[in-house]
Structure 1
Amino acid sequence: MELSAPLDAHLVSPHIPLQEDIDEYRRLSAEQAAGVAVVTTVWRGRDYAATVSAYLSVSYDPPTMLVSLYEGSRIAQAVAGSGLWALTLLTAEQKRDANWLASPGTPVEGLLSQIPFRRGPGTGCAILEGGLAYFEVSTTAVHEAATHLLVVGAVTAMGSQTTWQPGSSPLVHYAGDYRRLQA
């Protein structure tokens, strides 16, 4: 059944978006709740890490993941260069870590010095302590998409370091802020 009220539409030129188009896209896309994770890698003997909310499970058979990284970022260059990376899914209690690793201008040296982590057994990448789950990944493809790199990879190791506790929650990004799920 067709509804009588017209949709409120903002038409966008896909070839040359105006700043108002970009701003409206950012506002509307923030209405999607997304899990928060940290992607890590070791490249040229140095740890790299960043907070992400644009990741997904591509396939269960074989286990395959994807992460979207801003092409001009240090983490994108490091993940693409290394070919090995890890993704730790964060709990609401790890909001401080998420904020630190999402902050512009974080130092390259000592980036993880204030965050408890272990080395993943498959990749040697940092796995944040207390995360809901982790995945170690070997890159199989990198695709350029607008201002980002879509990095696809085969899961080579995975696990969980915590058991679910009543009152615990994944860290979720919604409406421009980090939130927790309420039961």
Structure 2
Amino acid sequence: MQIEPLDAQPTEPQVERYRTLAAEHAVGVGVVCSRYRGKDHAITVTAFADVSYDPPTMLVCLYDMGRMCEAVESTGSWTLSLLNARQRSVANWLASPGNPVEGLLDSVPFHRTERTGTPVIDGCLSWFELDTVSTHTAATHLVVIGRVTAMGRGPGAHATDRPLIHVAREYKTLG
């Protein structure tokens, strides 16, 4: 077993080594959306999890300096759309830094939830509408915990669709 201790203030090579090792874990790819000040906000995420089944609760980790944090914190509601393997272009577009707020979803098929009008990505494997119940700062990210208020399968999605996954810093599919 190889042990690689980290400094209290990790060096760039240590941070890069951490990123490499952590990226060896396959994770699903989703999109978090929020509607804030009359505009749609959306970002690709790979750090999310279901926390509890009773009541249904999920969490997502968002970069603390990004505009998505302000949108989610200010509105208190958001959606998480879990992407299928054919939605790699959506994931790439919404992961691009510096995307414009105006027209962000013009090229992405979506519909709105009934209760809050928050975007849900069409064709996604499944989607969840959530109300924030707590937030926690963790290093450079905000951990947002939300209670599920609505959920479903994306229009055009099928139970046999394969998920889009992220491993070794690349999008991949199963099988």
Instruction: State the TM-score, normalized to the length of structure 2.
Output: 0.96
Q: Superposed, which structure 2 residues align to 1:87-166 within 5 Å? A: 87-161=80-154, 162-165=157-160
Q: Deviations over 1:147-166 (max 9, x none)?
A: 0000001000001132223x
Distance (Å, rounded) in 1 between the aligned partners of 2:88 and 2:10: 33
Deviation at 1:123, TM superposition (A): 2.4
Instruction: State the TM-score, normalized to the length of structure 1.
Output: 0.92
* Structure 2, unaligned runs of 5 or more: none
Q: Work out whether residues 122 and 156 of structure 1, in 8 Å CA contact, stay in contact via their aligned partners in 2.
A: no
1:171 to 158, 164, 167: 164
In the alignment, what sits opposite 1:77? 70
Deviation at 1:80, TM superposition (A): 1.2
Deviation at 1:171, TM superposition (A): 0.2
Deviation at 1:170, TM superposition (A): 0.3
Deviation at 1:138, TM superposition (A): 0.2
Q: Work out whether residues 122 and 136 of structure 1, in 8 Å CA contact, stay in contact via their aligned partners in 2.
A: no
Distance (Å, rounded) in 2 between the aligned partners of 1:174 and 1:76: 24
Deviation at 1:122, TM superposition (A): 2.7
In the alignment, what sits opposite 2:3? 9
Distance (Å, rounded) in 2 between the aligned partners of 1:145 and 1:63: 23
Deviation at 1:47, TM superposition (A): 0.5
Q: Which has the larger radius of gyration?
A: 1
Distance (Å, rounded) in 2 between the aligned partners of 1:123 and 1:32: 34
SS of 2:148's equivalent in the other structure is strand
Distance (Å, rounded) in 2 between the aligned partners of 1:173 and 1:129: 20
Distance (Å, rounded) in 2 between the aligned partners of 1:59 and 1:17: 33
* Structure 1, unaligned runs of 5 or more: 1-6
Q: Deviations over 1:28-57 (max 9, x none)?
A: 000000000000000111110000000000
Deviation at 1:77, TM superposition (A): 1.5
RMSD: 0.9
Distance (Å, rounded) in 1 between the aligned partners of 2:116 and 2:147: 12
Distance (Å, rounded) in 1 between the aligned partners of 2:152 and 2:82: 11
In the alignment, what sits opposite 1:58? 51
| Matched AA of 1:163 | H
Percentage identity across paired residues of the two chains: 48
